[in-house]
Amino acid sequence: MPYAPDYLGHDTPKLGFGLMRLPKAEDGSIDVPQVCDMVDCFLDAGLTYFDTAYVYTGSEEATRKALVERHARDSYTLCSKANAWLGNPTADEVKRQFETSLQRLGTDYLDYYLLHAIQDNNNDIYDQYQLWDWVRGLKERGVIRHWGFSFHAGPERLERLLTENPDIDFIQLQVNYADWNDDANVASRRNVEVATAHGVPFTVMEPVKGGILANPPRVVRDIFDAAGNGLSYPSWAIRFVASIPGVLTVLSGMSTLEQVQDNVSYMRNFQPLTAAEQDVVARAMAALDSVEQIKCTACHYCCEGCPMQIPIPDFFAAMNRKLVFENEADAKARYERTKKNAGVGADECIGCGQCEGACPQGLPIIDLLAQTAEALG
């Protein structure tokens, strides 16, 4: 069904602040003073949506300090999430996450709340723990305004979940131009089609695919540069998804004030892509599909529980320096630096498969680690 003119989020500014990748201080903690500057810049531009999660280490506390304690509660909206699979929590432990999130955030309600990162291999947990009815109860109590789930699976499962939960308010999908036609894995386009058919609005995560589209391969950069409008590479990615009907807001996981300033420069008064700009992005998609790369978004879910404590995303980032940018010397230097800092190499993977079960991208991590070690080790 087409979205009604007054669908949930129709008047929400189309750039949201994703609070997963906040800047770090020298001691490794979140740099709260810098986050304060980022939050102020974001709000000053008239933007309002903030997204965090129970499992984003330190994020909820930093959000309290930078946002909740410094700005009027009615000047922004806040989303958090409950996770039922990272760390194998019990049902009671999952349900306690909500109260913990409220305490960390320093608020007595949330505007949006999500069951976090539903995948094919964890969906049953959310059913067994009866979390669907639990989150409905939170809305009935008035401690959340809108509920839904974030999703990392295919359109068949999404169709079933939306059919079984017709009262759902919104969902969160991974959508970007790199994944738009990737039906075998992320299936961005097909999942959007399912949400559209049900008339369910959606927030967008990973619009720049963990930063990959902020600095795409040369063949893609050349296409955008030739367009001649002087816009940054992230702007093409974010405006592409913000132009899709039914979008509530697009989450950008910003890590510096400069990233916030760039994003608000073109999203403060957002205009959807023109037909000519859509054609530019279509050509960029085709060019990107021709480039071999490891499509890791650096979410680090794979690292939780790794018995060898391998920093998998860091090794994959090194490998992409070779694959995407054809810089083998830099790739090898990054690999060695990562190995030294971690005290473990990519070749020390024992093949337990824990990482592959956690990966939202469905990557064959065991094989990719072996390939990375052989190429760079």
Annotate 27-59 with DSSP letters as a single string.
Answer: TSSB-HHHHHHHHHHHHHTT--EEE--TTSTTH
Q: Which two structure tokens, joined as six digits, stand for 30?
A: 């979140």
Listed residue (42, 61, 45) closest to 53, CA to CA: 61
Is-contact 376 318, C-beta < 8 A?
A: yes
Alpha-carbon distance 211 to 296, whole Å?
Answer: 10
Give pLDDT tens digits for 197-246. 999 999 999 999 888 899 999 999 999 999 977 889 999 999 999 999 99
- Assess whether pLDDT exceeds 80 at residue 99: yes
Q: Could you tell me which residue, 357 or 82, shows the higher pLDDT?
A: 82
Element (H, E) at 341: helix 328-342
Alpha carbon separation from 298 to 29, 191, 301, 315, 316 (Å, rounded):
18, 22, 8, 10, 9
Alpha-carbon distance 106 to 341, whole Å?
Answer: 36
Alpha-carbon distance 98 to 113, whole Å?
Answer: 9
Alpha-carbon distance 201 to 10, whole Å?
Answer: 9
- Assess whether pLDDT exceeds 70 at residue 44: yes
326 — pLDDT class (breaks 50, 70, 90):
confident
Alpha-carbon distance 89 to 168, whole Å?
Answer: 24
Listed residue (155, 152, 105, 94) closest to 128, CA to CA: 94
What local confidence, expressed as pLDDT, does residue 249 receive? Answer: 98
Stretch among 29-33, 145-149, 209-213, 346-350 having the lowest mean pLDDT: 209-213
Structural domains in the chain plus CATH codes = 15-289 (3.20.20.100), 301-376 (no CATH)
Alpha-carbon distance 65 to 52, whole Å?
Answer: 14
**Hey, how many other C-beta atoms are within 10 angstroms of the C-beta on 204?**
26
Alpha-carbon distance 101 to 308, whole Å?
Answer: 30
Cα dihedral across residues 7, 49, 60, 302: positive or negative: positive
**Hey, how many other C-beta atoms are within 10 angstroms of the C-beta on 106?**
15
Q: How many percent of the chain have pLDDT more than 90?
A: 81
Instruction: Tell me what the pLDDT averaged over the chain comes to.
Output: 94
Tell me the pTM. Answer: 0.86
Burial level of 316, CB count in 10 A (0-12/13-18/19+)?
A: buried
Q: Could you tell me which residue, 2 or 260, shows the higher pLDDT?
A: 260
- Assess whether pLDDT exceeds 90 at residue 191: yes
Instruction: State the average pLDDT over residues 58-71.
Output: 98
What local confidence, expressed as pLDDT, does residue 321 receive? Answer: 81
Give pLDDT tens digits for 241-264. 999 999 999 999 999 999 999 999
What local confidence, expressed as pLDDT, does residue 230 receive? Answer: 86
Q: Residue 81 pairs with which residues in a beta bridge?
A: 114
Long-range contacts of 312-320 (CB under 8 A, 24+ apart): 312/346, 312/355, 312/365, 312/369, 314/338, 314/342, 315/346, 315/369, 315/372, 316/368, 316/372, 318/372, 318/376, 319/294, 319/368, 319/371, 319/372, 319/375, 319/376, 320/212, 320/293, 320/294, 320/296
Give pLDDT tens digits for 143-172. 999 999 999 999 999 999 999 999 999 999
Alpha-carbon distance 219 to 290, whole Å?
Answer: 9
Is-contact 368 294, C-beta < 8 A?
A: yes
Alpha-carbon distance 317 to 334, whole Å?
Answer: 8
**Hey, how many other C-beta atoms are within 10 angstroms of the C-beta on 211?**
16
- Assess whether pLDDT exceeds 70 at residue 1: no
Element (H, E) at 82: strand 77-82
Provide the b/e sequence for 63-101 (b: ≥16 CB within 10 Å).
bbbbbbeeeeeeebbbbbbbbbbbeebeeeebbebbeeb
- Assess whether pLDDT exceeds 80 at residue 325: no
